[in-house]
Structure 1
Amino acid sequence: MTKYYSIRTKLIAFMLIATTLPLLASMSMTFIQTKTALREQAVAENKRLIYQASTNLNNYIDNAARASLAVYNDPHFLRNLAKIPGDYRAVAEVYTTLQTIRSAVPDVFQLYLHSFAANQSTLITNPFPKREERKQAYSDSLHGQTNGNRQDIWIESAHASHTYGFKAASADDPSRTVITLHRVIMDIPSTERLGVLSIDLNMDSIAAISSRLYDPAKEQIYIVDRHNQVIYQGDSQVSDSLVLNKQVAAELNNIRAGKVHFQTNTGHFEQEHSMYVYQQIGSSFADWTIIKQIPNETLYARANTLTWNNALIAITALIMVIVATLFISIRITGPLKQLMRYMNQIQAGRLHVDIRLTSRDEIGVLARHFRDMMDTVNNLILREYRLELANKTNQLRALQAQIHPHFLYNTLQSIGTLALQQQGQRAYALLSSLSKMLRYSMRDQTCVTLREEAEHARLYLELQQERFGERLEVNLNFAEDTLSVEMPRMTLQPLIENYFKHGADVQPGKGYISIHSHLTTDHWVEIHLENNGPSIPEEKLIEIREWFREELSTSEIVGKETDENESIGLRNVGQRLRLNSSAEHPAMIDIRNREPHGVQIIVKIYAGE
């Protein structure tokens, strides 16, 4: 991890950041501004194109609608509709009027006329016109007249052509996609319907107008009706069931309903990784919308190219910065690394390393000064360290010596009582236990394992049970995974002895002591000591807790004097636990009262990972 904090790494990182951030910021701003400019330019240009196309389409449809008015311009046409069955002259005049309409409108595929008065249908198509008697017009010709809608002219959206119920001229004659202009012929000025005229228009003119609006290789154009059924879609064949993409159709419906803040006749929106520019043609009977789809990759192609060019320039600049930074950093940090290696040797214990740096710059001067002061500094460190070790050892021995008189006095009193009762074998066993305890307390060893402390506590409680008999109940339960943790010798006995000093003799009824240990999930060993003796007064309990939280200095530990009213055992254990634990994971003692009476002491020692 040291290399990540070196001057060389920091210098490289600084140069990279100082170079990369401005380049990335410049590239990002250029890309965003270019995208914005391209989007605005594309919207403006395509709006103009589509507006012109909508005007052409509107004129085309209006021209067809005006041509259909020829049925009213001929003064004999309305009268001839009633004479068609038996009057061949009337039939010829009607045929002439229909041919006039056909020649006036480009892209007419066929015309269909039905006379309600004469119950006769006529189809003008190649190669010959067809006529037959019918009581009603072909059903598709009346589309738009249902549900009470009484329009006299309307446009039927793109659909496959058919023969309006007549027999086809050839079985192999394929259908084609057409739109149909329907006009109801009325006996002007009355509203009586005399017939219906249907003009099928092929898609040639619409395709010609639309082809100038888009690039077929990259873009797409749609012309849809108010139901979002596609009338024209690029060079694709359009069927009756072809409808617009659901998301795009939903956006158009919201625009028509005024649910979004766009102009209802023209505008643009983004959907499905594309931009859509739309324009309604504004015809009163052909509610069509022209939509141009421009994919983002087409719209932002120039922006992407510019970004890649900038990226190549940035990569080249970064490579040059890295090479220059490495050259400079090696010249600067090389002597520093050599000096650091000397320091690492000193840290490993080689206090008399011969520091040799020949550079004449500030780093060389620093190395020579460091070499001159090493002997003095190291001697001071070693001397202070040895004094501190000796002082700490003397403190531990002094603290351990405080507790010997307490347990010896109580134990000898128990054995003396048993001897007076003349139970020699039992007295021998107790003396054996006392011998083991004395040998344990006199060991020249600062720290032991919890297993050894637990055995010493068991011997001590065995002697106390001899003293109190059935008046004392003992429960010991040490978890196996906690017995190897190290702790100061003579830690548990003073905590247990505190109960016999302050509560065992004055407590009525049966006494109870429980000691158990367990390992927590965060690698701490907790030792719980509980008894049912008298509770500690609240003021005294607060005082003891405050003492445990204090960080005592060495002089305070050595010079501290306690009288018999103070908890010698608790303070003694607390001091030794602090002396034998690390600063990162200091041992802790917590003491609290139990309900309804009794005391609980919790010792926490870090077991390590």
Structure 2
Amino acid sequence: MFTRKRKKRLSNKVFSKILVYYSATILLTMFVLMFVLVSYYTEVIIQREMDASTRTLERIEANLNQKEEYVKNVMQELYLKSDLIFYDITYALQNDYSTYLSYRLDKYSESPSFVSYNLDTFFQAYFTQDPDINAVSLKSSNPGTEYIFVNNHHRWNQFLSKNEKSEIQDRLGLAPEDMKILKVKWEQERQIYNNIQISRSINDPVNLKEIGKLTVFYDTESIQDLLQLRRSQYKGSVHIIGRDGSQLYSSTHSSIPTLLKDIPFETKFSKEKWKGKNYYINTIADDQMGYVYVGFIPEQEIKKVTIVHRYMFLATMLLSIIAIAVTYILMRSYSKRINKIDNAIHEVRDGNLKIRIPASKQSDELTTISESFNDMLDDLNKYIKDVYVLNIQQREAEMKALQSQIQPHFLYNTLEAIRMKAIADGSKTTSNMIYSLGQLFRYSLSSKEVVRVADEIEHVREYISLIQIRYPNRLHVSYEIPEKYLEEKILKFTLQPLVENYLIHGFRKETNQNELVIRVQRKQQDIKLIVKDNGCGITSTRLVQIQEKLQEGTMTSEGSIGLSNVHQRLQLKYGLDYGLQITSIEGEGTTVVIKIPAARRGLPHV
């Protein structure tokens, strides 16, 4: 009883170990799978957001490139108008404003046309079409001369309200007439208020020296509108930074983060940590304008990643709990069934052969074991009852086996005694026939299934020698067997039935022209044994019948040693590609070819 309880505890302990190992494996597998899926999905989300940021930056880049292309075209038009560049703009840049006004009045008075074409008309013609232009500056290379054309007075006045001249003058201690220094300060302050300038040099058409610079100040309201339209398609903020690190634009209307001030001038994607938080930075470098377009995305704004992490974790925990619970329930059921089997085994060990394991409705290995166990007990009880009968039958079988061993030896000894008596009486022919008959019996009663070709040929020789003694000088046999093939293996009683078939159906007793050829040759990886005679032959109808029987596998009239028997034995041993092939011509003879695989593959082909 103590042993049985101990075994039960051990059984439960085994199942507990299996449950622990299985649970650990499930949890490890599920969490590894969750980690892989979360990592992949996180990368997908981040890549999607970065792609959206890239598309937004490309739209902004295209917008500014379009404006830069427009300024470039204006400059080309300027150089094509020789009167304007030669006689007006060049003079304006090389002289002060009062001198230029006197010059322009003189030119107007001398001109036959009432419409003057000068610096003002140039500004009006080319820089009033784009509503994003705040102002245009034409500044001389010589300090002191600068002309400003205001296109949008509202935004210009808004800007001046934020930068009152008096405040700047008081702060810097400047005189009201010191407009050059005021202008420089305005250019420095413009970065804070999101103004983007595009500049082009103006060269003297005669000596190609730079005489001034044309600068167009664009408002960033169009960029802000573009971002507003795409707000749902990207995260974070957008910044435009000059090649020198200066801030040109920020969608947050504030200074750029310190992390971006030393950003390299290149197109790339990176992940940086700043002030304890992770940020994704996407940059596009524009060599043509010298700007870097930056998408700055805090990791916390990509809320989907956090949500995916939570859902993945909850799904993993839920699936793991379900898998472990189902496993526990199933294993508990199996444990109970195994305990029943274990108890039944101990009952049998204690001598109770009447116990049986209850049948289960489930169809599995445990049910098979239970049924086999019950069947074993039934058979065991039956064997116990029949044990005496079986012992008696076993003894009788042993006696018969001893007798079967004695009979062949008795036959060999008797034939040898007769042969010795024939020799003593001077009958050598009878002695030879008895010797050949004994060899035939010895070969027939041998237990070997596969023999050498040499042994099968020797058996055929003994058989033919008996026929030749009976019919002297009427049967001529030739053996064309290379010595290298004598060690090949062949099924016993393969050649002798073919020779016997010839002697029964093809041998002509009235003539001494009977010839039989036994030939062995090799073709590739097969051995062919050929038995050819010049006997009566087989009619075409009979030949077709024989070939059909060989193909069908039916037995011929010759019994178990007939042609069909040999053919079937060869196919069962070597496969359907091997066996007998029979050809015959009535009145001329028959040829039988035996095809078997070569056992000695290294022999040369013939």
Larger radius of gyration: 2
Structure with the higher helix share, 1 or 2: 2
Shorter-chain TM-score range:
0.3 to 0.5
Provide TM-score, normalisation by structure 2.
Answer: 0.43
